[in-house]
Amino acid sequence: LRTLVTHMYRLGLRNTRGKKVQLNSLSLLLNNTFYTGILNVKDMNFDGGHEPLIAPHLFQDVQAILRGSTNQKVKRHDFRFRKLLSCHACGYSLNGETQKGHVYYRCHTSGCTTKGMREVTIENLLLKPFKATQLYPEESTLLDELLKDTEQEWLVKKQELLSTLKLQAGQIEQRRERLTDCYVEGGLDKETYEERKQKLLFESKEKEAAEKELMQDKPAILAKAKKFLELTKHLVKSYQTGNLEEKRELVQITTSNLVVERKKLMIAMKSPFLELAQRYDLSFGALKRDKLRKHHTTHIYSDINTSAIVGEPLTKEQLKPLLDLILSAVSELPEDNDTTNHDI
C-alpha cells in the first residue's frame, strides 16, 4: 500500500477531474477503479479506453489491505552490521559497541564461547567472497554475447505468445457481448449484470497487462542480468567507497547469513551472487542450482590475509550454464529488493 501511494505521488497523480490529489482524498483515490482503466459512472462500469496507471491485480491487492490492517515498523541504523551478524553457538544477534575508538560486535549471552570481532576485520573478510564474484574482462565479453543470443531466441517465441493472448482477449470480448445481450433482453437484473461486467472488465485488463508485461518481460530480465553483471564488476569498489547505508545495503543484497564462530566469519551468499562465486564448479557440470544452494552456500574465513579462491577465465561454453542460473535468479527477485537497482 505504501509503495502504491508513493508511486502515485511521484507521478503527481490527479483525480478524474484533473485536480492534484490531496492527502485527505487518499481513501477515495485508492478505491477508484479509474486508475486501472475502468470507469464507474452511477454504479455502472465501463472500459475507459485510457492507459491504466496501475495493474488490476495491484488495485485488488490494495483493496484487500484496506479491509485489513498493516503494521509499520521504524527502521533504525546504528552500527554497520547491526542485526546482520549472528552467533554460531547460541543463535542470537551480535551487538555492536565502541571501545577505544574501534567498533566491536560481541555476543552478550551468558556463558557463550563466541568472542568479539572487530568491524574492520569483518569488512576485510567480506571482501573475499565479493572478489570471488568479480568476472574477468574476457568472461564479461562472452556473457554479453550470450545475452544477445538469448534475446534473439526470445524474439522468435514472443509472437506466438502474443497471438495466444490476443485470442483469449477476443474470447473475453465475446463473453461481454453475450452478457450485454442477456441484460438487454431482461435475463439479468442490473446489480448482477454490473457485477459480472466488472469481473469481465478486470479479466480484460489483466490480459492487456499480461500482453504489456510480455512485451517487456524477457527484455526486462535480460536488462536485470546486465545490471547485475555490471554491479559485480565493481562490487569491491562499491563497498569500499560507499557510505554506511550503502554498505549495509550491499551486504543485505549479496549475503543471506553472516555467522560468527569464535574468530571465524561464515558467509552465506545469496543467489545469483552465489552462482557467480561458484562458477568454477558449475563450469564442469559438478553442481546444479539446488545442490549448490544446499551444500556450497557458506564460505568460512578466519584470516584477513586469506586470498579468495579464483580460477582461470571460463570459456563461452562453460559460461552457458552460469548465464541460465543468473537469468533464473534475477527473474525471481522482487522489484522492491532488486539487486540491480543499486546505484554503483
The grid coordinates listed for 266 are 561464515
pLDDT of res. 296: 42
- The answer on pLDDT for 306 being more than 80 is no
Positions of E strands within the chain: 38-41, 44-47, 85-87, 95-99, 102-106, 117-118, 255-261, 264-269, 298-301
The single-letter code of the amino acid at 134 is: Q
pLDDT one-digit tens code per residue, 13-58: 554 455 555 555 667 777 788 888 888 887 788 887 788 878 777 7
Burial of 205 (0-12, 13-18, 19+ CB in 10 A): buried
Phi–psi pair at 309, nearest 5 degrees = -80, 120
Q: What is the pLDDT of residue 18?
A: 52
Residue 60, all three cell numbers: 485488488
pLDDT for res 122: 92
Strand 38-41, strand 44-47: pairing: antiparallel
d(CA 210, CA 204): 10
**So what's the pLDDT on residue 196?**
86
Counting beta carbons within 10 angstroms of the beta carbon of residue 319, is it exposed (0 to 12), middle (13 to 18) or buried (19 or more)?
A: buried
| pLDDT over 90, % of the chain | 8
Q: What is the pLDDT of residue 108?
A: 84
DSSP code at position 35: G
Reported as a pLDDT band with limits 50, 70 and 90, residue 77 is very low
Beta bridge partners of 117: 105
Greater confidence, 71 or 152? 152
What is the model's pTM? 0.54
Percent of the chain's residues with pLDDT above 70: 75
Average pLDDT over residues 304-327: 76
CB 320 within 8 A of CB 146: yes
Amino acid at 315: T
For residues 92-99, give the mean pLDDT.
89
Strands 255-261 and 85-87: parallel
Return the axis-axis angle of helices 56-67 and 190-233, rounded to nearest 10°. 100
Sorted by sequence, the CB contacts under 8 Å of residue 145 that are 6+ apart come out as 316
User: Coil, helix or strand for 99?
Assistant: strand
Q: How does pLDDT run across 140-169, given as a tens digit for each residue? A: 889 989 988 888 888 777 777 778 878 888
The confidence score (pLDDT) of residue 4 equals: 56
CA–CA separation, 82 vs 245, rounded Å? 11
Tell me the C-alpha distance between 119 and 116, whole Å: 10
Q: Which pLDDT band holds residue 75 (cuts at 50, 70, 90)?
A: very low
What average pLDDT does range 73-102 have in this prediction? 81
Distance of CA 152 to the CA centre of its chain: 25
Residue 93 per-residue DSSP state: B
pLDDT confidence band for 251 (50 / 70 / 90): very high
